[in-house]
Chain A
Amino acid sequence: DAGVIQSPRHEVTEMGQEVTLRCKPISGHDYLFWYRQTMMRGLELLIYFNNNVPIDDSGMPEDRFSAKMPNASFSTLKIQPSEPRDSAVYFCASSLTGQGEVGAFFGQGTRLTVV
């Protein structure tokens, strides 16, 4: 398996623009997580899905953020409108029920810069 695939690797956008980050989890995994990494706050869980259903979105910072998982092999995280404080690295990760001991498998992350 190719692992968790995120796109794009880097994104630079202007304040006010819409940004969409994409993730393809490992085939067969039933959990998908979106994390945000900043120097100040470390790795924060934004939202996670189980079997394509959002389970906990309490980490989503505000209404400008939304996430979807239309099927088992694809998820998006959208920011609209984007702001400079959204600049961070966004990670997608996936895992499988019953294999909690291996943690989660992470993508390479998307570095977002909002200018």
Chain B
Amino acid sequence: AQTVTQSQPEMSVQEAETVTLSCTYDTSESDYYLFWYKQPPSRQMILVIRQEAYKQQNATENRFSVNFQKAAKSFSLKISDSQLGDAAMYFCAYRVIQGAQKLVFGQGTRLTINP
């Protein structure tokens, strides 16, 4: 069974600094997607960034980037120039490309931004 692990229940960073959130996963599949979702206090689940496993190039979306290490099954999220609005729960998620379309989530990391 696929599992996703986020080993950092909480993280904090100073405003304008850079922070990295960790995620590891376990799967026997070769083709899959990985996602980072942001959940602010409003509870809305917001897709931040995604990575296709067959792509070697790390995905980037403005201040958000990932470090995808397929062999190590690692998928970390880097937030540069942290802003107060980045404070939220962040969830790492996994989905196979072929077959069951369910999203498997990690436990989440609560990110606090210190002004």
Using CB atoms and an 8 Å cutoff, list the residues of chain B in contact with chain A.
33, 35, 37, 42-45, 47, 50, 52, 91, 93, 95, 97, 100-108
Contact = CB atoms under 8 A, between A and B. Distances in A.
Interface string A39-79: 00111110010100001100000000000000000000000
A100 B96 CA distance: 8
Nearest to B101: A31
A103 B102 contact: no
Contacts of A95: 101
A54 to B, nearest CB: 12
| Residue of A89, A97, A101 with highest tally of chain B CB at under 10 A | A101
Contact of A97 (B91, B95, B101): B101
A13 interface: no
Given A50-B101, A56-B102, A109 B47 contact: no
Contact-residue size bin, chain A (C-beta under 8 Å from the other chain): 20 to 34
Lowest 4 CB-CB distances: which A-B pairs, in order?
Answer: A106-B45, A42-B107, A43-B105, A109-B43
Contact of B103 (A42, A101, A104): A104
A15 to B, nearest CB: 24
B91 A43 contact: yes
A2 interface: no
Contacts of B35: 103
B108 A103 contact: no
A50 B102 CA distance: 10
A45 B103 contact: yes
Contact of B50 (A31, A97, A101, A106): A101
